[in-house]
Amino acid sequence: MADQNQNKNGLPPTPGSSPNWGLWILMAVITGILLLAFTSDGNLGSAARNITLDEFRKDFRQGKIVLTEPDKFPIEVVSNDNSSNAIINAYAYKTDPAFNYAPFHMPFTESEELKTLFNRYGITETADDTKLPEVLGDKVISTEYFRKLGEEGRILDTKEKHPVIYYTNPERTEGVIVGEYRKNPEGAVDRKNIEPVSVTFSRTFQGDQVRDMLGSHAVYKVESNTWEMILINCLPVVLIFIILIFLFRAQGGGPSGAMKFARSRARLLDPSQNQITFKDVAGISEAKEEVWEIVEFLRNPAKFRNLGGTIPKGVLMVGPPGTGKTLLAKAIAGEADVPFYTISGSDFVEMFVGVGASRVRDMFAEAKKHSPCLIFIDEIDAVGRHRGHGVGGGHDEREQTLNALLVEMDGFTANENVIVIAATNRVDVLDPALLRPGRFDRQVVVNLPDAAGREQILRVHARKVKLDPSVDLNPIARATTGFSGAELANLVNEAALIAARRNKSTVGQSDLEEAREKVRWGRERRSLEITDKEKYNTAVHEAGHAICLLKTELRKSLPLHKVTIIPRGPALGVTMMLPDEDKHSEYKSELLDYIVMAMGGRCAEQVVFGDISGGARGDIQSATSIARKMVCVYGMSDKLGPIEYGTNHNEVFLARDISQTTRNYSERTAQLIDEEIQRIVTENYNRALTILSENKERLLLIADKLIEFETLNGDQIAELLETGVLSNPPTRELPPPMPEDADAPTDLQTPDDEPPAPAEQDNTNA
């Protein structure tokens, strides 16, 4: 029996994977009954041609309705007690039959009723004299038969022959109507030349007209619509039955029932669909070793239990966004040969109190049935935040959910062989009870990768693209300090897109470098319209940054990479610096030099123009932030000493920090802090002003070269600063020409345009 509850991978079947065929069959039967009831109209299976009452009346008067054999081809008028409509079922000739005509005459005495009857049938022609024709015919008809002929449209009324009124007295009160009428076809009716017709009409408004028209030719029936009666009587019972089925299925744990609202939303990961292993995770070697012990324990528990070791109950992965926490969890799932449940922290919390706690209990109950197994909770800070914090005393639903999670992980009930792996980038907001050993026995820190780790990550992602054999990933890795794994993956993808845009067959070194600059500083905005004055101001500004950098010791730890006046992202120009190695410590001299470099742009504007612009707001913000950290955090102020001022210099947790003060110093100290920050920024601003005043000629020269070439690398800037000569000028890259004619072809295609012809591939790498 146990084998029936396992799939081919040894994992339990996914709930709700098999359809409920009984419910589908029931719904199909009900749908069939509804269609049968509403399409019957008392004439089930009939292939009659539906026509309107006016069309039927016209055909009836023209003799196209079969009247000669009422036993075989009757005219039936069927009505229903439950409906205001009725149906005429009759047979009509497909083609006009051959009719014979016979003369008739009808004596009459004039009255208002007869005048109305004559007008109805269009008999208005009167003979010039009162002398009757010699031959009147052998057919003398009564007024009632005349009325019937008129109703049936059998009185011949053509241009050649009209019924004529002959008066027999001078007072014109008596007379005779002489004319011809149409005889019904004689002989048997040819079945091939007739077809059934059906007419639906309103008994209330058109019933009298139908009776006057058909008279004794029709058979009148009153019957009940059986299917409609069944529907009316059975539909309420069927609806109640369906509602009961849904309720019972919900109580019984059906996959789509209403009671599933409180069930766990943890998804069982299918190993056949997860191809990620530890080979796909790079740059976090220590974290891989930590979690590999869990996989090894699950594979060979005796190795650890022989020494008295027990399986960890929980592992908390902590690190900045994009460092690979979720990727590491996917690798664990790919390596571990056990059931792996995955869920997000936000899937627990709902607006109804108690739902999240119920989901936690249900998740662990399901996991215990298939132990040993792993549960991965992504973004656990959504449910594991501090209890009792915030305005109003906290969040009852989230706190009850957290309480249930704490009890399930380490409570009175044994929870063996179920390992919880969680990930967060805000460990500071988690409840202390969640972090203690016994719940999360170990914290795995997943930091930003170093240079070697970044190179490994680049190599992992480079497997997915066609990389040129001459590409060296080491310089790219060293020039991407501070990049996370997600940013490096984006860099490789952007390089592939750039190479494809250039119609290359492989991704080259230049594509990777451009992708790195695009990810770090933004894409070039060559289409931005800038006046010559603003462009020259930008060149002077960026030249000031570059000269201040090269004239300080900061150039050794933060080399100048490139200066450009092409707008990138929100900036009109960028001075790019790329460190040769990762730095983990900050020195006072370097921070002071960085303030000098940051103020170089504003000082350059003041030296050259005698005026300043608002383009240095970001530089001022950066310099002020560094000075404040030097005084309040790093203790680099001689006047204030090595003391930390303020208690919260990291991210703020509003629920915890809203009622706490972050200021732990007096007003006098606050004034000293402001004075020290102002002194540090002002002194280094004056340093930058002095450097640029002494090198004003070089400043103008570099600005002119930036106007000419738009982009200069660090070596070219240094050469201009030292010698004033540019021995190896760069080639200015011009933007693609814009078409002059509005109808000229461009690379931008609309859905109505023809696709562009394929461009020839360039197999050379820049």
542 flagged as catalytic? yes
Distance CA 488, CA 485 (A): 5
Centre a 10 Å sphere on the Cβ of residue 288 and count the other Cβ atoms it contains: 18
Task: Give the whole-angstrom CA distance, residue 164 versus residue 155.
Answer: 12
* CA separation for the pair 268, 557 (Å, rounded): 49
Q: 700 CB contacts (<8 Å, ≥6 apart)? A: 540, 608
Question: How are beta strands 442-445 and 560-564 bridged, if at all?
Answer: unpaired
* C-beta separation of 127 from 166 below 8 A: yes
Reduced to 3 states (helix: H, G, I; strand: E, B; else coil), residue 707 is helix
**Bridging pattern class, strands 560-564 and 711-713:** antiparallel
Q: How far is it, in rounded angstroms, from Cα 276 to Cα 421?
A: 17
Could you tell me if 104 and 179 are in contact, meaning their C-beta atoms sit under 8 angstroms apart?
yes
Dist. CA 371–CA 339, nearest whole Å = 8
- The CA–CA distances, whole Å, from 263 to 253, 256, 339, 348, 350 equal 9, 11, 19, 10, 12
d(Cα 302, Cα 317) in Å, to the nearest integer? 26
> Strand pairing partners for 424?
318
Give the helix ranges, DSSP H, for 522-582: 532-550, 554-557
Coil/strand/helix, residue 151: helix
| d(C-alpha 636, C-alpha 688), whole Å | 21
Output the DSSP codes for 512-539.
HHHHHHHHHH--B-TT----HHHHHHHH
Closest CA to 721 of 691, 684, 685: 691
Unique residue bearing structure tokens 């289409």: 527
d(CA 752, CA 347): 44
d(CA 679, CA 672): 10
State how far Cα 732 lies from the chain centre: 43
Q: Which two tokens stand for residue 333?
A: 């799932």
The interaxial angle of helices 696-709 and 588-609, nearest 10 deg, is 80
Q: In whole angstroms, give the CA distance from residue 701 to residue 511.
A: 31
Q: Which of 514, 542, 605, 710 is catalytic?
A: 542
Asked whether 627 and 595 are in contact (CB, 8 A), the reply is yes
Of 637, 657, 636, 633, whose CA–CA distance to 645 is shortest?
Answer: 633
What's the length of the chain? 766
Return the active site residues. Answer: 542
